[in-house]
Amino acid sequence: METWNLDALFEGYETQEFKETINTIESLIEEANAFSQTLGEADALETIKTYLDIAARLRHNFIRAHGFVNLKLATDAQDETSNAWMNTMQKLSSRTTDFNTKFSKWLPTVENLDDLIETDSTLKKHEYILRQRVKNAQYVLSDEEEQLISTLSQTGSKSWSQLQGLLTSIVEVDFKGEKLTLSDIKNKAHSRDRSERKAAYEAEMDAYQKIEHSVAFALNSIKGEVNEITAMRGFESPLDEAVNDSRMKRETLDALIESMRAHLPMFRDYLKRKAALLGHEGGLPWYDLFAPMGKSERTFSSKDAMDYVINNFKTFGDDLANLAKRAYEESWIDFTPRKGKRGGAFCSNLHPIKQSRILTNFTGSFSNVITLAHELGHAYHGDKIFNESILNASYTMPVAETASTLCETIVKKAAINDSEGEEKLFILEQSLMGTTQVIVDILSRFIFEKSVFEKRQSSPLSVEQIKALMQEAQKEAYGDGVDASTLHPYAWLNKPHYYRPNLSFYNFPYAFGLLFAKGIYAIYQEKGQAFTKDIDHLLQKTGQMDVEEVAALIGIDVTKREFWDQSLKVIKEEIEQFMELTNDKV
């Protein structure tokens, strides 16, 4: 049960079921493209309903086949068969461009669209996505341009993205006579041995030098392509496109970032206190950011971790606990690191089979348990949205982190409340460690990515320039909270989020999710388990509303800084608790 089972998708590439699914996709693409040539010829209502039907069947089969290939690659980046099939899936996806482009340009020409939506149940059910198509039609290019962009991206930005994933999966880290993966060496940042943490940090830096030029070339190529395409579409910048794609207002993002910046001093106080506790003067060395504080004798097997998470999830509700139990018993989770497996963690929600798959690099630490809770939160979100049609199941980046961060909060709060003494300090500091990453480090990554896009407008950036931008962003966010001589110049190299050509600025959604979840959790504490139904409804509707509308379902106005300040106040109370617990230790 340490690795996931993908049989619910397919038992292998050679199975008749997989081959039939690929054949179905081929046939649907032909049907879709034939349909796109007839737009405007038939009754508008029937045309829209036909589009929705074809689009739903295409998405169902694509998610299933692409999901299988992507998950196979996630655990074996060098698998030749999976790489070949990924290339095939990308080509198939590219061939649907004409179908979607032509419909997106035709739909705004339907004069009585409002009446059709109000009088037909199928259109009413998909009202939001239809209106989104109308709204975003202004950013759609000509049929020829859209097709060309889609085709060339397969050998352009998407290939560069795969290169980054491959290199960071297979690069070997030399550490004390052993050859380790990046995931292995990064996990040593949580060691109780300071000399091991420092040596691991130095070994990690050395390993990046082996691949820095190749990955920098990938970053330049992806960001350069995104700059060109967003300008062609009429966006002022990739950030404006990211905000639009997130279905949120710029004033919401501005309120969030403003609040984060205003509260940086309290995080710096926490970091400097941690530095003092570890015997440092001034800021905390980067290699000690994840150093454990307090004491906890607990290490977790995968089963121990799941039992711990499930028991704490029960305090929120049986639905959440049962979902986690099902994920473990049905082998949805791939737990441990190994060569060729990608680093980090993710959850893939698979609507066609109403299941999810979770990847972690679990080594038994408490932080690994929190990561597990986070990814199970994504699976819980998926479980709720599976109740909607497959076309209504695509939610945007900011709300994507809501359920996951809420589940983190549930486990952390329960763990803190149930502990005392050195164990309480350990768990509290683990919580603050994670929160600091999501607020301070995410802010640094937001600043960095914005700078890279701006600099890339004039010319490609050298490795040294990219490293300098990363360190400048870290200084701006962390300030005197960290030792400036130990910053992480390669924090851009190992973060796959920067290499997703169709998803720029996948950083601020984590901060949004954390603080949105903190606000939701505060309401939950006031109202109790009866409020879980409201949360479930919110999660289920995230594919059919703008971010601001989703928040309004439970009375939250995310366009105002006041909400974000209130959520950060909850974190401030945790920092004050940490300071109080450690006053007699410095």
Per-residue confidence at 504, pLDDT binned at 50, 70, 90?
very high
Q: Which of 103, 120, 152 is the last residue of a domain?
A: 152
**DSSP letter at 360?**
-
Look at residue 75 in the predicted model and tell me its pLDDT: 95
Cβ 529 vs Cβ 380: under 8 Å: no
From residue 463, give the alpha-carbon distance in Å to each of 170, 209, 490, 505: 20, 10, 9, 20
Look at residue 396 in the predicted model and tell me its pLDDT: 87
- What is the average pLDDT across 399-426? 88
- What is the average pLDDT across 395-403? 88
Q: Which of 105, 134, 152 is the last residue of a domain?
A: 152
Residue 232 above 80 pLDDT?
A: yes
Residues facing residue 359 across a β-bridge: 334, 346
Residue 549 above 80 pLDDT?
A: yes
Same domain, 524 and 460: yes
Domain of 331?
Answer: 302-389
Asked whether residue 68 is domain-assigned, the answer is yes
User: pTM, whole model, 2 decimals?
Assistant: 0.84
Domain count, the chain: 3
Residue 586 above 80 pLDDT?
A: no
Asked whether residue 398 is domain-assigned, the answer is no
| Degrees, nearest 5: CA angle 149-153-157 | 135
Look at residue 183 in the predicted model and tell me its pLDDT: 87
Same domain, 475 and 364: no
> Can you give the CATH number for the domain in which 502 is found?
1.10.1370.20
From residue 411, give the alpha-carbon distance in Å to each of 14, 19, 370, 517: 42, 42, 7, 13
Residue 12 above 80 pLDDT?
A: yes
- What is the average pLDDT across 377-400? 94
Euclidean distance between the first and the last CA atom of the chain, given in angstroms as a whole number: 44
Q: What percent of the chain is modeled with pLDDT above 90?
A: 84
Residue 367 above 90 pLDDT?
A: no
Per-residue confidence at 584, pLDDT binned at 50, 70, 90?
confident
Phi, psi (deg, nearest 5) at residue 32: -65, -45
* Residue scoring higher pLDDT (367 or 556): 556
Same domain, 339 and 431: no
Per-residue confidence at 442, pLDDT binned at 50, 70, 90?
very high
Asked whether residue 430 is domain-assigned, the answer is yes
Look at residue 136 in the predicted model and tell me its pLDDT: 93
- What is the average pLDDT across 83-101? 93
Look at residue 506 in the predicted model and tell me its pLDDT: 92
Look at residue 516 in the predicted model and tell me its pLDDT: 93
d(CA 118, CA 68): 38
Compute, in degrees rounded to 10, the torsion defined by CA atoms 320, 363, 271, 412.
20
Asked whether residue 410 is domain-assigned, the answer is no
Cβ 358 vs Cβ 375: under 8 Å: yes
Same domain, 238 and 146: no
Q: 568 Cβ partners below 8 Å, 6+ apart?
A: 259, 260, 263, 439, 515
Same domain, 201 and 343: no
Residue 269 above 80 pLDDT?
A: yes
Same domain, 496 and 555: yes
Radius of gyration of the chain (CA): 24
Residue 543 above 80 pLDDT?
A: yes
**What is the average pLDDT score of the chain?**
94
Residue 297 above 80 pLDDT?
A: no
Per-residue confidence at 127, pLDDT binned at 50, 70, 90?
very high
Residue 30 above 80 pLDDT?
A: yes
Residues facing residue 562 across a β-bridge: none
- What is the average pLDDT across 506-516? 92
Q: Give the distance, in angstroms, between the CA of residue 384 and the centroid of all CA atoms in the same chain.
A: 18
Cβ 377 vs Cβ 404: under 8 Å: yes
Look at residue 93 in the predicted model and tell me its pLDDT: 93
* Residue scoring higher pLDDT (58 or 295): 58
Asked whether residue 104 is domain-assigned, the answer is yes
Per-residue confidence at 25, pLDDT binned at 50, 70, 90?
very high
- What is the average pLDDT across 417-424? 85
Residue owning tokens 């006053």: 583
Look at residue 361 in the predicted model and tell me its pLDDT: 93
Residue 420 above 90 pLDDT?
A: no
Q: Which of 152, 181, 208 is the last residue of a domain?
A: 152
Same domain, 214 and 276: yes
- What is the average pLDDT across 405-426? 87
Look at residue 397 in the predicted model and tell me its pLDDT: 82
- What is the average pLDDT across 91-108? 93
Same domain, 261 and 187: yes
Look at residue 414 in the predicted model and tell me its pLDDT: 84
Per-residue confidence at 421, pLDDT binned at 50, 70, 90?
confident
Look at residue 389 in the predicted model and tell me its pLDDT: 96
Same domain, 573 and 430: yes
Asked whether residue 296 is domain-assigned, the answer is no
Compute, in degrees rounded to 10, the torsion defined by CA atoms 466, 468, 473, 474.
110
Same domain, 479 and 339: no
Asked whether residue 404 is domain-assigned, the answer is no
Residue 39's identity, in one-letter code, is: L
Asked whether residue 401 is domain-assigned, the answer is no
d(CA 49, CA 416): 52
Per-residue confidence at 226, pLDDT binned at 50, 70, 90?
very high
Same domain, 481 and 372: no
Q: Which of 153-162, 187-196, 296-305, 331-340 has the weakest average pLDDT?
A: 296-305
* Most confident among 421-430, 497-506, 522-531 (mean pLDDT): 497-506
- What is the average pLDDT across 177-195? 92
Same domain, 355 and 430: no
Look at residue 40 in the predicted model and tell me its pLDDT: 82
d(CA 218, CA 428): 39
Look at residue 371 in the predicted model and tell me its pLDDT: 93
- What is the average pLDDT across 31-39? 94
d(CA 518, CA 55): 36
Q: Which of 65-69, 326-330, 336-340, 554-558 has the weakest average pLDDT?
A: 336-340
Closest CA to 61 of 31, 84, 105, 81: 31
> Can you give the CATH number for the domain in which 69 is found?
1.20.140.70
3-class secondary structure, 325 = helix
